[in-house]
Structure 1
Amino acid sequence: MSNREDDWKNKPPFGPKPDGFKAQWHGKCHCGRVTYELSREKPLASKYCHCGDCKKLHGAPFQWAAIFNKGDINFANGTEGLGFYHTADKGRHHDLPCKVYCDFCRAPIMDEGRNMILLFPPLIQEISSERGVEAFKPQCHLFYPQRVLQFKGDGMDKWEGLDKKSASLDDDGNVVEK
């Protein structure tokens, strides 16, 4: 690899631990080779995404993502064992935005964007605690018309595409008239 291809190793969220970083949460991949800490008490937002890419890439009916700033995460171990997938060209390289996973067990760790990360809450060790359930509680559904499960009466906003940038929907997927 050239130096340019390795630049990601020295930048957030993969570079050195930020000064004053205090771990609030701990996460790890399935095999435990990749471990990380989060310093923010709650994500900036938490959402369920029902788009086709998320369903295929996670092998699940939807993706649960929690949004954090890149400086909110510190990889305690395993950055040398990370793999990347760039969905735009279907390549295995670090080019933003990209999917980040453990290259050994293939557990998805996060989606890395230019400024933020979308982390997957089931990897958080404390997620089942009362504190974890409350902190990572999703606020909305994205790409709701593409859902394969019903979510009637959950009290969460539902969007045709991205939140606040597409039509608002009711529980049945009908556009809510304003």
Structure 2
Amino acid sequence: MGGAHEHGDKDFTGDGFPDEVEPYSVKPDAWEAKYSGSCHCGAVTFEVKDDPVASVCCHCTTCQIVHGATSQRAVLFKKDCVRFPKEAIEHLAFYQTHDKVRSARLAVICLANMWLAFPALFKFGEGAKEPESFQVKNHIFYSQRMLDLERKPGVKFWSEAQDKSEEM
């Protein structure tokens, strides 16, 4: 498959995720969650203690195929701002799009110590709307889009990777 995710979903941190490696061993008294969420069945829960450093919408063909949608939204956090309870870690898995392989490695995109999550996994409270920090600021791989989107002020559209391609 390759494309946008050929390098983005490789395990750059090694095969395992030992407990002594941050952020998976954060002491409870040193943590104050700002947002929390879970997978659909609730087996994997997580917390983040800061706003995302980026919020993107990817229009690459890999995201279209993997997610069965015209695009995929994602928020990125610094890995040291993310915490998974020990009981959740056994349920984590990672699907490598370029190899079409599901592995037992952690469900984290590991580039520049970042963690990628889908905004729909977060719980903001009854009736609460998604925070401003989760709003899409960049559309990436827009040259591969299926639909044209309305342009909003302050939102950038990149032909391929953000800051590594021409702005459209």
Q: What TM-score, normalized to structure 2?
A: 0.78
1:38 aligns with 2:77: no
Which runs of no fewer than 5 residues in structure 2 stay unpaired?
1-13
The runs of 4+ residues in structure 1 deviating greater than 4 Å are none
Give the direction of change, closer, same or farther, for the CA distance of 1:81–1:94 in structure 2 (3 Å limit). closer
Aligned length: 150
1:86, 1:94 within 8 Å by CA — same for their partners in 2? no
Give, in whole Å, the separation in 2 of the partners of 1:23 and 1:45. 18
Structure 1: segments with no counterpart, 5+ residues: 101-109, 170-178
Percent identity over the alignment is: 34
CA contact (8 A) 2:157 2:167 kept: yes
Larger RCO: 1 or 2 (CA < 8 Å, sep 6+): 2
Change in 2 beyond 3 A, CA 1:82/1:21: same
**Partner of residue 101, structure 2:** 91
Q: Deviations over 1:37-85 (max 9, x none)?
A: 0001x21010100011112112221111111111111113411011122
Q: Specify which of 132, 135, 138 is matched with residue 137 of structure 1.
A: 135
Equivalent in 94, 116, 119 of residue 117 of structure 2: 119
Corresponding residue for 1:149? 147
TM-score, scaled to structure 1: 0.74
Distance 1:9 1:121 in 2: 27
CA distance in 2: counterparts of 1:28 and 1:78, whole angstroms: 9
Provide the residue aligned with 1:162 in structure 2.
161
Query: Which among 7, 13, 17 is matched to residue 26 of structure 2?
Result: 17
* Aligned position for 1:81: 91
- Give 1:9 deviation, angstroms: 3.9
Greater shift after overlay, 62-71 or 146-155? 146-155
Q: How far apart, in 2, do the equivalents of 1:114 and 1:12 lie? A: 14
Structure 2: which amino acid aligns with 1:48?
C
The C-alpha deviation readout for 1:139-160, integer Å capped at 9, x for no partner, is: 1100111111221232311001
**Over aligned residues, Cα RMSD in angstroms?**
2.3
How much does 1:111 deviate? 3.2
Structure 2 residue matching 1:85: 3-state secondary structure? strand
Say which SS state the counterpart of residue 147 (structure 2) adopts: coil
Secondary structure in structure 2 of the residue aligned to 1:111: coil
